[in-house]
Amino acid sequence: MRGNSRIDSNRGSSKILDADEIANFVSLRNSYKTISSKYLQFKKRPWKALEPLIQRLHAFCPNPFSILDAGAGNGRNLAYFPNVPTKLALDPIEQLVRNSVFYGGLPILGSSTSLPFRDRSFDIILSIAVIHHFRSLSTAKLVLIELLRILKDDGVLLVTVWRRDRPGRIGAVIRNLVEGKSANEEYVPWKDSSGNVLAKRYYRYYTRKEFFHLIEGLSCEMLEFGVFGGKHVKQNLYAIIRPARNQGRE
């Protein structure tokens, strides 16, 4: 077992987001507040598609002492780590944090853009379906830099995003391009059982090339990169990374 991971709630630098990103964050937060009860109802169990990736994390980091799920929602994916002593589920949506699924983890209200933890705090960090909610690549990069900052030198970070050219969306991509719209952006509706739209959430889809270049531009070692499932095969992109070994960190 690894040594204790000290957590300092006063640590973490303030990050400045532009006006569009702030407006998007407020809109997204309001949308999740609106759908929080439905979200909690339908997303109680861990995401099945993650299971093979979790196994890969354990291969790279076989005896983790601490794990952070950053953008955890209700913390359901911490169920994959029953034997990890220190588990934290961080999310900016108060309704989700208050009603988090209990898998021995500590729910924390906070944002991935400015994390309240000291450097090198965690053995494993999850960023599952989070950065595709940010409008700009610069904000996504900012978040990943923050996550790498609090990751131990031999720790691992799993990042996933929605894939632009996913099955079932090719028609929408072509239609947007023909209409002069962005092929990468969409407001995805959350509907009730009657088909009524309760809220819309912003998504910025990634191509394999875009996501690879985003990860490649970080000071990190890329351990794995690829596609994995969802409701259909190959709907998502993922990367497993760790801090660059050939660059010393203060």
The answer to whether residue 47 sits within a structural domain is yes
Those residues with Cβ within 8 angstroms of residue 21's Cβ, 6 or more apart along the chain or in another chain: 134, 135, 136, 139
Crossing angle for the helix pair 208-216 and 137-149, to the nearest 10 degrees = 50
**Predicted pLDDT at 250:** 57
**Predicted pLDDT at 12:** 46
Indicate the pLDDT class of residue 15, thresholds 50, 70 and 90.
Answer: low
pLDDT in tens, 63-73: 999 999 999 98
The answer to whether residue 13 sits within a structural domain is no
Those residues with Cβ within 8 angstroms of residue 8's Cβ, 6 or more apart along the chain or in another chain: 116, 117, 118, 121
Task: Examine the pLDDT at 6 and tell me if it is beyond 60.
Answer: no
Indicate the pLDDT class of residue 41, thresholds 50, 70 and 90.
Answer: confident
Task: Examine the pLDDT at 217 and tell me if it is beyond 90.
Answer: yes
> Domain limits at 97?
19-243
Tell me the pLDDT of the chain averaged across its residues. 86
Cβ atoms of 129 and 203 closer than 8 Å: no
**Predicted pLDDT at 247:** 54
Indicate the pLDDT class of residue 232, thresholds 50, 70 and 90.
Answer: low
Indicate the pLDDT class of residue 186, thresholds 50, 70 and 90.
Answer: confident
Task: Examine the pLDDT at 9 and tell me if it is beyond 50.
Answer: no
CATH of the domain at 239: 3.40.50.150
Is the torsion defined by CA of 131, 136, 137, 139 positive or negative?
negative
**Predicted pLDDT at 8:** 37
The answer to whether residue 73 sits within a structural domain is yes
Phi, psi of 188 (to 5 degrees): -90, 125
pLDDT in tens, 95-104: 888 877 767 7
Indicate the pLDDT class of residue 248, thresholds 50, 70 and 90.
Answer: low
The answer to whether residue 248 sits within a structural domain is no
Looking at the structure of the chain, the number of domains it has is: 1
Is this prediction's pTM over 0.85? yes
If one compares 240 and 178, the residue with the highest pLDDT of the two is 240
**Predicted pLDDT at 65:** 96
The answer to whether residue 100 sits within a structural domain is yes
The answer to whether residue 7 sits within a structural domain is no
Can you tell me the mean pLDDT for 186-198? 89
**Predicted pLDDT at 44:** 83
The answer to whether residue 71 sits within a structural domain is yes
Helix (H) or strand (E) holding 29: helix 19-42
Cβ atoms of 188 and 203 closer than 8 Å: yes
Is the torsion defined by CA of 97, 129, 105, 16 positive or negative?
negative
